[in-house]
């Protein structure tokens, strides 16, 4: 079981480095002393193209891979484009994991999502809840793709004795997030709408859903720390949950965002919009037992993320999709 530190000079590939998660992982690895970090933009390497992925691995031969590339989105995006979500994610995962195994990658971390668990799983959700019930229908296509990734990791371990692992993060946020008005996740979406309401002098903000579902939020920099920690301290087929172990309601989240933004108007809840899963709190006991815990509190993380959002607005560099 490899529990030693990764070689800082070995080729290390972060797939999806241009996204929220991959960008944070890349920054953390650089800060941790990794000197041979490999990246490729989607324009240079389409991970859905099997031949292109094989050519990349054959030439670069990464010793370690963090599979952070994915097609992601919020409830509206998942409900609108389910075929794209399952097709794109399946192809990217299969290509990267297959070629890693074929071309000598010794350690790999596959990043999934807490949406892999059943909609009505017992709370907090343990890793062994996987495949014990029906999924949330608004993102079932994405969830099935991520479940397939977990099973592919397990199959590669069984067939080839590879030290590949998978981790299931809770809801993520932080610098580099997607603030698109329709395709973003709930937290960046709230930041954008509440900021725009304050800037325009509006006296109210409409929040999708009833406000009653409860969600857990992990700062992406904490996830990046967890990725390196798991690569160096964990080697088993079962996925590991990564989260904070605490949650709050969407109403409470909206109120906290309003406080951070400085918006003093009222919040109205549009109950015609879907709520999604009633509650999705991860049991992080396994990760805590290994010796890792999140460090960044939600208020602190929100303040940092809102400051980054305003900087991007001022610079005109905010992601548009």
Angle at alpha carbon of residue 174, lines to 105 and 312, rounded to 5°: 110
Alpha carbon 227 to chain centroid, angstroms: 11
Residue 26 lies in a domain: yes
Residue 35 lies in a domain: yes
pLDDT reported for residue 3: 63
Residue 85 lies in a domain: yes
**Cα separation of 73 and 111, whole Å?**
15
Overall average pLDDT of the 50-69 stretch: 98
Residue 20 lies in a domain: yes
DSSP structure class, residue 118: -
Residue 252 lies in a domain: no
Measure Cα distances from 138 to 65, 73, 143, 276, 308 in Å. Answer: 30, 11, 10, 7, 30
Q: Which residues contact 243 (CB under 8 A, 6 or more apart)?
A: 114, 169, 170, 216, 218, 281, 282, 284, 294
Overall average pLDDT of the 206-226 stretch: 96
Q: Which residues contact 300 (CB under 8 A, 6 or more apart)?
A: none
Angle at alpha carbon of residue 12, lines to 109 and 99, rounded to 5°: 65
Selection from 162, 152, 277, 163 nearest residue 209 by Cα = 277
28 assigned binding-site residue: no
154-166 pLDDT, tens digit each: 999 999 999 999 9
pLDDT of 2 above 90: no
21 assigned binding-site residue: yes
Retrieve residue 198's tokens.
Answer: 């304050």
Q: For residue 106, give its domain range.
A: 12-174+217-244+281-295
Overall average pLDDT of the 62-91 stretch: 91
pLDDT of 307 above 90: yes
Q: What is the dihedral of CA 115, 119, 125, 127, to 10 degrees?
A: -60
Which are the catalytic amino acids? 142
Query: Domain tally for the chain?
Result: 1
**Cα separation of 71 and 88, whole Å?**
7
Q: For the domain that residue 145 is a member of, what is the CATH number? A: 3.40.50.720
Residue 167 lies in a domain: yes
317, 308 Cβ separation under 8 angstroms: no
pLDDT band at residue 138 using 50, 70 and 90 as cut-offs: confident
Overall average pLDDT of the 55-66 stretch: 98
Residue 188 lies in a domain: no
Residue 138 lies in a domain: yes
17 assigned binding-site residue: yes
170 assigned binding-site residue: yes
pTM of the model: 0.94
Q: Which strands form 279-280's sheet, in the order they lie side by side?
A: 248-249, 214-215, 279-280
pLDDT of 320 above 60: no
Tell me the percentage of the chain whose pLDDT exceeds 70.
Answer: 98
pLDDT reported for residue 1: 47
């Amino acid at each position: 079981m490899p529990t030693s530190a990764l070689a800082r000079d070995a080729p290390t590939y972060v797939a999806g480095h241009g996204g929220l998660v991959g960008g944070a992982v890349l920054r953390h690895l650089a800060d941790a002393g990794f000197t041979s970090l490999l990246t490729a933009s989607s324009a240079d390497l389409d991970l859905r193209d099997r031949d292109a992925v094989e050519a990349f691995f054959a030439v670069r031969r990464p010793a370690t891979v963090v599979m952070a590339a994915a097609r992601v989105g919020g409830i509206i995006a998942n409900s609108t484009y389910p075929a794209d979500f399952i097709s794109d994610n399946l192809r990217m995962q299969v290509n990267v994991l297959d070629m890693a195994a074929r071309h000598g990658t010794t350690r790999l971390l596959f990043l999934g999502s807490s949406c892999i668990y059943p909609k009505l799983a017992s709370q907090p959700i343990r890793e062994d809840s996987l495949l014990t019930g029906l999924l949330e229908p608004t993102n079932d296509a994405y969830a099935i793709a991520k479940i397939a990734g977990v099973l592919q990791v397990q199959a590669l371990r069984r067939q080839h004795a590879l030290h590949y692992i998978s981790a299931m993060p809770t809801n993520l946020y932080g610098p580099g997030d997607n603030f698109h008005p329709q395709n973003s996740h709930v937290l960046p979406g709230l930041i954008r709408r509440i900021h725009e309401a304050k800037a325009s002098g509006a006296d109210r903000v409409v929040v999708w859903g009833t406000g009653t579902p409860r969600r857990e939020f992990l700062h992406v920099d904490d996830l990046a720390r967890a990725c390196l920690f798991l690569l160096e301290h964990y080697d088993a087929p079962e996925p590991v949950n990564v989260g904070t172990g605490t949650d709050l309601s969407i109403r409470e989240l909206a109120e906290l965002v309003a406080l951070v933004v400085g918006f003093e108007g009222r919040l109205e809840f549009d109950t015609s919009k879907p709520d999604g899963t009633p509650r999705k709190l991860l049991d992080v006991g396994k990760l805590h037992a290994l010796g890792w815990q999140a460090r960044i509190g939600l208020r602190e993380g929100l303040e940092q993320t809102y400051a980054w959002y305003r900087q991007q607005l001022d610079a005109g560099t905010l992601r548009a999709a």
